[in-house]
Amino acid sequence: QGGNNAGHTVVVDGKEYDFHLFPSGIINPKAISFIGKAILEFTKFGRSSSSLCFLHIASCLKDWEKRLIISDRAHIVFDFHQAVDGLQEVQRQAQEGKNIGTTKKGIGPTYSSKAARTGLRICDLLSDFDEFSSRFKNLAQQYKSMFPTLDIDIEGQLKKLKGYAEKIRPMVRDGVYFMYEALHGSPKKILVEGANAALLDIDFGTYPFVTSSNCTVGGVCTGLGVPPQHVGDVYGVVKAYTTRVGIGAFPTEQINEIGDLLQSRGHEWGVTTGRKRRCGWLDLVILKYAHMINGFTALALTKLDILDVLDEIKIGVAYKLGGKRIPYFP
């Protein structure tokens, strides 16, 4: 997973759940859910909500904390990461006249901290809190120097974080060893769930209108520490039409009554942002491109019934560049 910016609406037995970070297997009382090398946000900790973001789902599910495991290597999203995410979007709009359309969940700034080797992980939070506090203050000061208008309640944040540490401590494990035991111990069925779509991958997506993580199948190896030879079937999940939240190229988009119909009939709203999803015809070029990268062994086609009311259905079959068809995704 790449953080809680991705939203998934899951309906089970007539009940609707909105997932942001939890694996959707958390609904299954027989399954153990594992959050790997993700990035975790604590700010909603303990609030009453129907959304399954992080540790505030007691009202929705029974004994969820007994079947949730969190990797000690997961990076932490702080409040100032989220504030900076918003400030950067304002800067982009002012300087370039356009922004990226992020969810303002602090995902990009947290990955920036990670890449700069100044990020803080769950293992840091649960070990020496004085050392953690010192590194937290240094990181906060770095961001304050870059964004002078940024207001950070350092002591207040640290107090909250210390409380969160004790609440999650029983759930935290060495993630690599946990996966090794799962793969080599008694036979288990292991299903890995990705967040975001292939075209939002930081390396292979429609850059720069992408997320900050690897949400292609390679994320199974880099996110969980699973060796490639253990990856079996790969299921691509695709709607019978194409959608996109936020800015970025969308050749088959229908900015007309067709797009409105797909949006309304398909209930196409961003789970995290509440924004309307942009809708258009199924784009087989990007589907084939996603297959080139992920090597799907099967496709799960969803929402075919949304098209039932249409007399004619169109599908994007090829791209042209300079008047000529091209066999690749440019």
Digit-coded pLDDT (tens) for 186-226 = 999 999 988 788 999 999 999 988 888 898 999 999 989 99
Burial class (CB in 10 A: 0-12, 13-18, 19+), 324: exposed
In this structure, are residues 30 and 132 in contact, taking their beta carbons and an 8 Å threshold? no
CA proximity to 274, closest of 100, 103, 108 = 103
Prior bond of 208 cis (ω within 30°): yes
**What CATH number belongs to 1-191?**
1.10.300.10
Alpha helices in the chain (DSSP H): 79-96, 107-115, 122-126, 129-146, 154-168, 175-184, 218-224, 257-265, 284-294
In this model, does residue 47 exceed pLDDT 50?
Answer: no
Q: What is the pLDDT of residue 102?
A: 77
pTM of the model: 0.85
> Where does the pLDDT of residue 90 fall: very low under 50, low under 70, confident under 90, or very high at 90 and above?
confident
Q: What is the pLDDT of residue 1?
A: 65
In this structure, are residues 211 and 204 in contact, taking their beta carbons and an 8 Å threshold? no
Dihedral sign of CA atoms 251, 252, 258, 263 in order: negative
Q: What residue spans define the domains of the chain?
A: 1-191, 233-326
Q: What CATH number does domain 233-326 carry, 3.40.980.10, 3.40.605.10, 3.90.170.10, 3.90.1170.50?
A: 3.90.170.10
CA proximity to 190, closest of 159, 220, 165, 219 = 220
Burial class (CB in 10 A: 0-12, 13-18, 19+), 90: exposed
Digit-coded pLDDT (tens) for 140-178 = 999 999 998 899 999 999 999 999 999 899 999 999 999
Cα within 13 Å of Cα(273), Cβ side: 16
In this structure, are residues 280 and 259 in contact, taking their beta carbons and an 8 Å threshold? yes
114 is catalytic: yes
In this model, does residue 59 exceed pLDDT 80?
Answer: no
> Where does the pLDDT of residue 272 fall: very low under 50, low under 70, confident under 90, or very high at 90 and above?
low
In this structure, are residues 1 and 35 in contact, taking their beta carbons and an 8 Å threshold? yes
What lies within 8 Å, CB to CB, of 104 at 6+ separation is 82, 85, 86, 89
Q: Which candidate in 37, 44, 98, 114 is catalytic?
A: 114
